[in-house]
Structure 1
Amino acid sequence: MTNLLITGGAGFIGANFVHHWRTAHPADEVVVLDLLTYAGNRASIDHVAGVDLVVGDIGDTALVEQLLIERRIDTIVHFAAESHVDRSIIGPDAFIDTNIVGTHSLLKAARKAWLDSGSGQPHRFHHVSTDEVFGSLGPNDPAFSETTPYAPNSPYSASKAASDHLVRAYHHTYGLQVTTSNCSNNYGPYQFPEKLIPLFLINCLHGRQLPIYGDGMNVRDWLHVSDHCRGIELVIERGRVGEAYNIGGGEELPNLAVIDRICAAVDVAFAADPSLAGRFPDAPAARGVPTETLKTFVTDRAGHDRRYAIDETKARSELDYVPRLSFEEGLAQTLAWYLANEDWWRPLLTR
């Protein structure tokens, strides 16, 4: 039996991981540590049995150490982070505080509880990171591998790069048993509606403009959150200590293609379910107007990386990781979830 501390477990990826782990490992103890900032939502995990939510800050080293000792935690899965690039450009301080200082606080607590106490307890500190730490790719550049040099271009990615280095350093210097995963763009249920797919889905339903940065041809690799959770599980269970693993979805798409697919999916949904026109009367699709009429191009974001792509060869060969959902399947499931869970996302629109 494993005793897990999941930081940021009320956020998007963390909450999905909580759901996944409780289903796959029902005998394990799960403690979630989350500060419940704007992107943390207790409603995302309230109905999951056997999960203990502790509202607190990863920067509170004493609290983390207490949890590790009293709950006999042997595995930390660290999701807690500020993650929205636009917010990092406007206010980078929060990203430094949470992503760098907060991660260091966790590492200090883990070192003290697991190493300095002399208990010799088997343990794992798994750190969840991003492909953005590798910078930007040209159209013909090879995809990011685990050996790609770091070249972060935003305050967000720079803060995540720093946290990656701290995790690595605590392994090599102190012997902390760590692994790291770097993922591509996630999407799926419980995603806060500031990220592209939920934001644009909800804008489509309300007849609001779909603001497209620059020419819309910035390319991302899209990863359904359920595949990401399985990938993290494999790293924890089979990954080599001290190693990093890239987890991707194998779906490289320009933003404009993603937005076009969102618009088309909304049109299909309204055509198939006439009740949607009554629920969302401001949607163009409610009047039989193509949703794509909402598209509008806006000034590009500062320092906008042109292309990300993940080479997941290492995860495939060492962990047998293979993404299961195509983007088409994942997007259909995601749209269906947001249409069925209006009571979850509507209160978030005022945050």
Structure 2
Amino acid sequence: MPKKKVLVTGGAGFIGGNFVQYMIHKYPQYDIYNLDSLTYAGDLTKHREIETKKNYHFIKADIADREQIIPLFVQEKFDYVVHFAAESHVDRSITDPEVFIRTNVLGTQVLLDASKHIGVTKFVHVSTDEVYGELDFDPTTFFTEETPIQPNSPYSASKASSDLLVRAYHETYELPVNITRCSNNYGPYHFPEKLIPLTISRILNDQKVPVYGDGKNIRDWLHVIDHCTAIDLVMHEGINGEVYNVGGHNEQTNLEVVKTIIRALGKSDDLIEFVKDRLGHDKRYAIDPTKLEKLGWKPTYTFETGIDQTIQWYLDNKEWWEHIISGEYQSYFEKQYSI
């Protein structure tokens, strides 16, 4: 019996990369294909330990390049597509929205066309809670799968647009799809422009940590491995056409996150530097994952256990992130935060 083929787009990124490794180890009977265009946030060094495995395959390609993608699907006849590939940093979307539309919207359409052409078993589209807009600070309110989509940034608007395309391909062409919308992820191999790895790397170098506005914006934090198990479940058990929210039940203000890391590393709050708030900065995100829990999923990490593990990972893997924060990224950081 031939092996099932799973295409993971964006498998050189943070969440996609962790998912590739998770799938390689859990499903040796599957062939896992990692497709990535290797933009600034793409990094293959994280896969050194698995790149020699017979069920791992890497393909360098741009998801928006129809002339590459369609023939690839026809040749390989993938059974599953798990679509992570996206421009994902809100700050960058404010500076340059066009690249987000090309990758996140047009790229998704190309993948949907290719999947429809060969008749995949399941297309899982990995989205974000940011498509719902923002919540107020009432701790009893949460995003559910029925919450109207009201994106507030070019990034979240591009993801909302791709969500609607995925839904339309299911409704129009009966393509078997699921959409997952996750809260903020953290964990190993997180690109160091995002809050948690940025804070860890800056503190370890005794550098100021920029915090937008007053730091009171709230996010629901989800460990990346918990996210991987959720996607695995949806891929195999999700009801076609359904949306599943993936949340960690770990709400923290940005300032609380930064202070937790400072305390864990034995440093002073003097390293905190409040900077001008981001344009259109959403107040709060919080997810109700009841629907997914009824399918059989629950997070295994608390924020306390997850952040301790993450900090230790960055301490043990300084070579990886020190290489990344040099050069072009450093220029971007200085421009973004005016430090």
TM range, smaller chain: over 0.9
Map residues 306-317 of structure 1 onto 2, 5 A cutoff: 306-317=283-294
Q: Secondary structure at the match of 2:221?
A: strand
Map residues 151-162 of structure 1 onto 2, 5 A cutoff: 151-162=150-161
Q: Which amino acid aligns with 1:47?
A: E
Deviations, residues 288-339 of structure 1 (Å, cap 9, x unaligned): xx3321001111111000000000010011x211100001111111111111
Matched, 1:326 2:302: yes
Deviations, residues 44-91 of structure 1 (Å, cap 9, x unaligned): 223212311111100122322222232231100000000000000011
Q: Quote how far apart the aligned CAs of 1:6 are.
A: 0.5
Measured in 2, the distance between the counterparts of 1:69 and 1:252 equals 44
Q: Secondary structure at the match of 2:322?
A: helix
Q: Quote how far apart the aligned CAs of 1:237 are.
A: 1.1
2:131 corresponds in structure 1 to 133
Checking the alignment, whether the CA contact within 8 Å between 2:135 and 2:285 is kept in structure 1 is yes
Q: Which amino acid aligns with 1:342?
A: K
Measured in 1, the distance between the counterparts of 2:209 and 2:321 equals 18
Q: Secondary structure at the match of 1:211?
A: strand
Q: Which amino acid aligns with 1:101?
A: L
2:268 to 276, 279, 291: 291
Q: TM-score, normalised by structure 1?
A: 0.90
Deviations, residues 248-289 of structure 1 (Å, cap 9, x unaligned): 11101111111110101111xxxxxxxxxxxxxxxxxxxxxx
Q: Secondary structure at the match of 1:139?
A: coil
Q: Secondary structure at the match of 1:100?
A: helix
Q: Secondary structure at the match of 1:29?
A: strand
Measured in 1, the distance between the counterparts of 2:80 and 2:106 equals 20
Q: Quote how far apart the aligned CAs of 1:96 are.
A: 0.5
Matched, 1:103 2:108: yes
Map residues 192-207 of structure 1 onto 2, 5 A cutoff: 192-207=191-206
1:93 corresponds in structure 2 to 98
Map residues 48-63 of structure 1 onto 2, 5 A cutoff: 48=50, 49=53, 50-63=55-68
Q: Quote how far apart the aligned CAs of 1:113 are.
A: 2.0
Q: Secondary structure at the match of 2:42?
A: coil
Map residues 74-85 of structure 1 onto 2, 5 A cutoff: 74-85=79-90
- Please list every run of 5 or more consecutive structure 1 residues that lacks an aligned counterpart in the other structure: 115-121, 268-289
2:336 corresponds in structure 1 to none
Measured in 2, the distance between the counterparts of 1:61 and 1:243 equals 27
Measured in 2, the distance between the counterparts of 1:298 and 1:56 equals 37
Q: Which amino acid aligns with 2:108?
A: T
Q: Quote how far apart the aligned CAs of 1:26 are.
A: 1.1
Map residues 218-297 of structure 1 onto 2, 5 A cutoff: 218-267=217-266, 290-297=267-274
2:23 corresponds in structure 1 to 21
2:332 corresponds in structure 1 to none
Q: Which amino acid aligns with 2:129?
A: D
Deviations, residues 133-192 of structure 1 (Å, cap 9, x unaligned): 000101126200000000000000000000000000000001111001000000000111
Measured in 1, the distance between the counterparts of 2:39 and 2:315 equals 25
Q: Which amino acid aligns with 1:83?
A: S
Measured in 1, the distance between the counterparts of 2:21 and 2:103 equals 24
Q: Which amino acid aligns with 1:326?
A: T
Query: What is the alpha-carbon root mean square deviation over aligned residues?
Result: 1.1
Checking the alignment, whether the CA contact within 8 Å between 1:61 and 1:108 is kept in structure 2 is no
Measured in 2, the distance between the counterparts of 1:110 and 1:71 equals 11
Greater alpha carbon shift after TM alignment, 171-180 vs 139-148: 139-148
1:182 corresponds in structure 2 to 181
Q: Which amino acid aligns with 2:324?
A: L
Q: Secondary structure at the match of 2:265?
A: helix
Measured in 1, the distance between the counterparts of 2:87 and 2:130 equals 13
Q: Quote how far apart the aligned CAs of 1:340 are.
A: 0.9
Checking the alignment, whether the CA contact within 8 Å between 1:220 and 1:307 is kept in structure 2 is yes
Measured in 2, the distance between the counterparts of 1:57 and 1:137 equals 34
Measured in 1, the distance between the counterparts of 2:216 and 2:322 equals 30
May I ask how many residue pairs the two structures share in their alignment? 321
Q: Secondary structure at the match of 1:300?
A: coil
Q: Give the share of equivalent positions with the same residue, in percent.
A: 50
Measured in 1, the distance between the counterparts of 2:185 and 2:129 equals 11
Q: Secondary structure at the match of 2:248?
A: coil
Q: Which amino acid aligns with 1:18?
A: V
Map residues 56-71 of structure 1 onto 2, 5 A cutoff: 56-71=61-76
2:334 corresponds in structure 1 to none
Measured in 1, the distance between the counterparts of 2:171 and 2:47 equals 35
Checking the alignment, whether the CA contact within 8 Å between 1:146 and 1:246 is kept in structure 2 is yes
Measured in 2, the distance between the counterparts of 1:61 and 1:124 equals 20
Moved over 3 A (4+): none
